[in-house]
Each structure stands twice: as C-alpha cells, then as structure tokens.
C-alpha cells in the first residue's frame, strides 16, 4: 500500500489520531512496537493560525516516528488552507483532515464530523487544502451524520475526486459517537467500488490481533487503524504484526514486562510535562489498560492508582500489584 510515494508495505496498521493520547511519546512507543504509521492529536486550524503556543507544540514530529501524519480540523476554507501550509512547514510525511471527530465542541460547531451535514463545504475544504500543499493529503471521516444519512459510499468518490491520497473510514455515524458496534460492511462497500483507486483504511473496534486480521480478510481494506484499543496497550501493534505475519498469536510476556511498559509511559509523560500534569495525562492509559482486567477485587487498587499524585506513590502502588493479586 502506498500513500503518495510513501510505501507502507502489505497490510499496514496505523495508530489513530486521538486527542490527549497521541502525543509524541506515545507515538514513538507505538512505532517501537510496530505501528506502520502514526498520527498527531488533532489540531485546530483556528488555534494554529492564531499561533496558540499549546497548539503549535502539537506540530513537533521526530524522524524516529516517520512516516507520521499531522491532522487538522476546522470549518472554514481559508483557515484550513492557511493551517495546512503551516503544518507543511513542520515537515510531516502526510497531512490528514479530520472530518470524523464526533465530540460536541467540535462537531457541534460544524467541524470534524459536523462536516457530514455540509458536504459541499467539506469538499471545498478538501479540494483547496490539496491544492495548497505539496505533501499527500488524506481524510478521516465516518459513515454519515446519523443512521438515515450513511452517505460514505458516494462521499468517498467525491473526496477522491478532490485529490486526496487515501481515505480512513470509522465504521460509525456521528450520532453513534462510540456506542454500538462499528459497521465494517459499508467500509467494505467503499473498497469494493470499482471507481475507487485510492487506499481505504478501516477503523473501529479493532481490539486484538485476530480481529485485525479478520478485518483485512473480510473487507479487503488496504490498511487498518487502531485507536482506543491501543490506549494503555501500545504493545497491541507487536501482537498484530506477529499475527498478520505468522497466523499465530504472540506468546504473552511476563506481567512485569507489561508493567514496565506502563511505567515507561508514566516517566515519559512526566518528563514531557511535569510530575503533576504528566500523571494526570497518563491516567487515561492506566484506567484503560487491559493488563489489570480480570484481577479480582482490584477496584480499590485502581482507585488508589488513579488518585496518586507523585511518581513515587504511583509506582509503590503498581509494585504491590503482583504480590497482592497474582499469588
């Protein structure tokens, strides 16, 4: 599979762009475990052209994470074009347009998946952004605004005609948010459309190596994107790549090995921010990780872990887990 001139190999697996998750440290961690391409957190075009420092920091990418895409969102042609040019100066490999974010503060203002209610504007933005930059432009979107307007099959053709180099489809409507099951059947129909010639990347509910392979085999997508399944579990990419290459599940590592990865994430977060903010940032990963699922009577320890305010206190709690729950 290629996006522009970027060769991503056969059956590539991507780390999805996620706000407050896919900072540079997490991207590098997922790249280390085999993610074929990673995406930044989504970036507001309006904030970027106003030179908001916190937003500009999201533009920082490193050679170690390549190929890497910067993702932007907005609701006006002019600001999106200006933001796209600023992003290109940060030297990403790909520029991705977010037409899929369902959260109210984005979609409710007409950006993200809110664009699914204004397709002419979506296409204008896409067309002009493609013209404005010299790197490949891709789009990430959803099936439609709601169950009565699942327009993705026709929309995919229209976006392709705007000049994008690949399309990622999350298998839910905006109204579904993240509830229910992702519908990959419509993603498959886009891929089956004989008019489509750009790569189609599927996204939604990929939480294991076996599910990832099934999505490739059943729906014929060119790539699979993993989002929430990677939170607190960056090693999922290692498991997926092994299964795709061998057809066998990767043997589990020791509990301590996985714990070491989570601790490394904590330390990276603290180093990037500071102790207080770093611990607050990493709590989402600690709450979501599959490592602690199935441990009997773990609730009190989970609460204590998520309330810890220093690295020392947090690691003391984590260090007690093996003796307390695994013996």
Distances 247 to 8, 61, 214, 241, 243 between C-alpha atoms, Å: 20, 33, 11, 10, 5
Q: Any catalytic annotation for residue 101?
A: yes
If phi > 0 it is left, if psi is from -120 to 50 it is alpha, else beta; for residue 46 that is: alpha
For residue 299 the two structure tokens come to 């609730």
**Cβ proximity of 39 and 14 under 8 Å:** yes
187-211 CB burial, b ≥16 within 10 A, e <16: bbebbeeeebebbbbbbbbbebbee
**Cβ proximity of 204 and 189 under 8 Å:** no
Alpha helices in 90-118 (DSSP H): 104-107
Which among 87, 101, 162, 212 is annotated as catalytic?
A: 101
Distances 180 to 62, 141, 175, 176 between C-alpha atoms, Å: 36, 17, 11, 7
**Cβ proximity of 248 and 308 under 8 Å:** no
Residues marked active site are found at: 101
């Amino acid at each position: 599979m290629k996006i522009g001139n970027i060769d991503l190999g056969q059956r590539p697996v991507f780390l999805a762009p996620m706000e407050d998750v896919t900072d540079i440290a997490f991207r590098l961690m997922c790249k280390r475990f085999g993610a074929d391409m990673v995406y930044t957190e989504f970036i507001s075009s309006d904030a970027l052209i106003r030179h908001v420092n916190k937003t500009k920091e999201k533009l920082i990418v490193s050679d170690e994470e390549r190929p890497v895409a910067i993702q932007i969102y907005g609701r006006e042609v002019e600001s999106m074009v200006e933001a796209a040019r600023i992003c290109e100066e940060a030297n990403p490999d790909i520029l991705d347009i977010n037409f899929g974010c369902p959260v109210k503060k984005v979609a409710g203002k007409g950006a993200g998946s809110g664009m699914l209610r204004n397709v002419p504007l979506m296409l204008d933005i896409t067309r002009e952004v493609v013209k404005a930059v010299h790197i490949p432009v891709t789009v990430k979107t959803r099936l439609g605004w709601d169950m009565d307007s699942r327009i993705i099959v026709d929309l995919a053709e229209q976006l392709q005609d705007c000049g994008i180099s690949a399309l990622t489809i999350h298998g839910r409507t905006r109204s579904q948010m993240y509830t229910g099951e992702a519908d990959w059947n419509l993603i498959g129909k886009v891929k089956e459309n004989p008019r489509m010639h750009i790569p189609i990347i599927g996204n939604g509910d990929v939480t294991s190596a076996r599910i990832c392979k099934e999505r490739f085999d059943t729906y014929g997508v060119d790539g699979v994107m993993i989002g929430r399944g990677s939170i607190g579990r960056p090693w999922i990419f290692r498991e997926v790549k092994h299964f795709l290459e061998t057809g066998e599940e990767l043997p589990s590592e020791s509990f301590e090995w996985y714990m070491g990865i989570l601790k490394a994430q904590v330390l990276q977060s603290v180093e990037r921010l500071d102790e207080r903010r770093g611990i607050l940032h990493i709590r989402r990963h600690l709450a979501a990780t599959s490592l602690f699922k199935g441990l009997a009577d773990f609730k009190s320890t989970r609460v204590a872990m998520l309330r810890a305010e220093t690295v020392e206190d947090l690691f003391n709690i984590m260090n007690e887990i093996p003796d307390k729950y695994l013996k």
